[in-house]
Structure 1
Amino acid sequence: MIIETIEDRFMGENTYLLGDEKSNKCAIIDPGASLIDILSAVRNRKFTVEYIILTHGHADHIANVNKLKAETNAKIVAHENEEELLIDRKKNLSVRFPCGPQEFDADVYVKDKDRLELGELRLTFIHTPGHTPGGMCIKVGDHMFTGDTLFAGSIGRTDFYGGDFKQMTKSLNKLKNYNGNTIIYPGHGPSSTIEIEKLTNPYMG
């Protein structure tokens, strides 16, 4: 399994390349980074993009979904509760961002505990509302992409459209139950582990 981080220079958003070396298939998670940088990472590893997976629908995470879809014809995957944001440029905040208005529909809408195969990798989706109604984490073995639900030392904001601190608290409690050795890859900032966050993150106490 290959995990490569491609950081957006404007918002510090983490786009992730998740690849299966045996099949040369990959998914791009939250393509908010430069399209040139994303495609360069894909080509350097000689991967084929099968999926564009969204932890949530805010502009800094979806800025290059439409362009990446046009380049790769990959299927867009999101949680079913996130459709409202994806199809509305005001709710997903893209009208305020340099990327310009972004609106689209996912090809595949998933639910909590749904699974997806990427070559020999098995992805499990975990619904974690709070930052947005359809926010989700993506677990692959002992690795978890947490979007703007859980950061190293902090959590995502809950004051945007659809945010809910009570829901965020429930989502964080759900994440506490996972193995402490699980490595988390947040939507912004450095990676961490569930155990480290339980010990040091004031929102995970």
Structure 2
Amino acid sequence: MNIKMAIVTFCLMLFIAGRGECQDIKDKKFKEVTRINNKEGDVIIKGMPVGPIMANCFIIGCEETKLAAVIDPGDEASVILKALADDKLSLQYIINTHGHFDHVGANKKLKEVTGAEILIHSKDAAMLSKLSITAAAFGLRAENSPPPDRELNDGDVISFGKVTLKVIHTPGHTPGGISILTGSHLFSGDTLFAGSIGRTDLPGGDYETLISTIRKKIFSLDEKVVVHPGHGPDTRVGDEKIHNPFVGEGRKSMW
């Protein structure tokens, strides 16, 4: 069992024991991850784990125009909406790094309230209509998502306000997995974690594809790029290139 699978198992155990929601909604808040200062304007990035499997959800906001995008709203739509309202942000895009229910479970509610467009890679788009079924396999519940307003592909650009996001197709965990790059910050979904990688035993997963994806598309980025994964703490490209036990340079010596 890898680190990510252990985290998921632990979270599910807490949920089954009735402690999956240990905080009242009013006490849960998004924390500022970083603030990017560039010549176009300030970009605010906030994040918080949501739902029983604690998938990381991120809000990216343009300080000047107050336009925003949410990456991976897996659950707790009310908390996400409150965070947007607190910062007076207008949600333009709901971006899914892949189609698993723990990353898209709040799509429906967010779209109903804000009218924001749902964006997901074309190869994962069909998964949005099957969320209730896949969640039930884990003993959980999720609402099916509306269909995407736009299907993404490698190299696409998402723009709002002074913010530009680049889409990088990073398959392996799912066929349509993507990572989102803005400046020196990468949102990797369930492709790469701090000290681990995404699981590949679920439908559509492929281990060799995942390893190739990480080495060719993520490890080719600047080593100082900060990686904001779909679960767990942040890391850096350079750290994972050296220390990741599944795909890093030290892998051969460990095995």
Please, what TM-score do these two structures have when normalized by structure 1? 0.95
1:70 partnered with 2:112 = yes
d(CA) in 1 for partners of 2:71 and 2:131?
20
TM-aligned CA deviation for residue 99 of structure 1: 3.3
Match of 2:135 in 1: 94
User: Which region of structure 1 is more displaced relative to structure 2, 82-91 or 169-178?
Assistant: 82-91
Instruction: Give structure 2 stretches of 5+ with no counterpart.
Output: 1-42, 249-255
Match of 2:58 in 1: 16
Judged with a 3 Å threshold, the aligned counterparts in structure 2 of structure 1 residues 104 and 94 are, in CA distance, closer, same or farther, namely farther
Match of 2:69 in 1: 27
Task: For CA contacts below 8 A with separation 6 or more, give which structure has more relative contact order.
Answer: 1
Cα deviation, 1:20-61, whole Å, max 9, x if unaligned, reads 111101101100131121011101110000000000010100
1:94–1:100 CA contact under 8 A, matched in 2: yes
Match of 1:4 in 2: 46
Runs ≥4 in structure 1, deviation > 6 angstroms?
none
Give the residue type in structure 1 aligned to 2:174.
T
1:196 to 229, 234, 239: 239
1:145–1:185 CA contact under 8 A, matched in 2: yes
Aligned length: 204
d(CA) in 1 for partners of 2:142 and 2:151?
24
d(CA) in 1 for partners of 2:103 and 2:176?
14
TM-aligned CA deviation for residue 12 of structure 1: 1.4
Match of 1:83 in 2: 125
Match of 2:184 in 1: 142
Give the residue type in structure 2 aligned to 1:155.
I
Q: Secondary structure at the residue paired with 1:52?
A: strand
Match of 1:168 in 2: 210
Judged with a 3 Å threshold, the aligned counterparts in structure 2 of structure 1 residues 90 and 131 are, in CA distance, closer, same or farther, namely farther
Instruction: Give structure 1 stretches of 5+ with no counterpart.
Output: none
Q: Secondary structure at the residue paired with 2:97?
A: coil
TM-aligned CA deviation for residue 90 of structure 1: 6.6
Cα deviation, 1:73-97, whole Å, max 9, x if unaligned, reads 0000111111121233377x23335
1:123 partnered with 2:165 = yes
d(CA) in 2 for partners of 1:180 and 1:102?
38
Equivalent residues in 2 for 1:96-115, closer than 5 Å: 96=137, 98-115=140-157
Please, what TM-score do these two structures have when normalized by structure 2? 0.77
TM-aligned CA deviation for residue 199 of structure 1: 1.4
1:94–1:101 CA contact under 8 A, matched in 2: no
d(CA) in 2 for partners of 1:61 and 1:124?
19
TM-aligned CA deviation for residue 121 of structure 1: 0.9
d(CA) in 1 for partners of 2:230 and 2:142?
20
Q: Secondary structure at the residue paired with 1:46?
A: coil
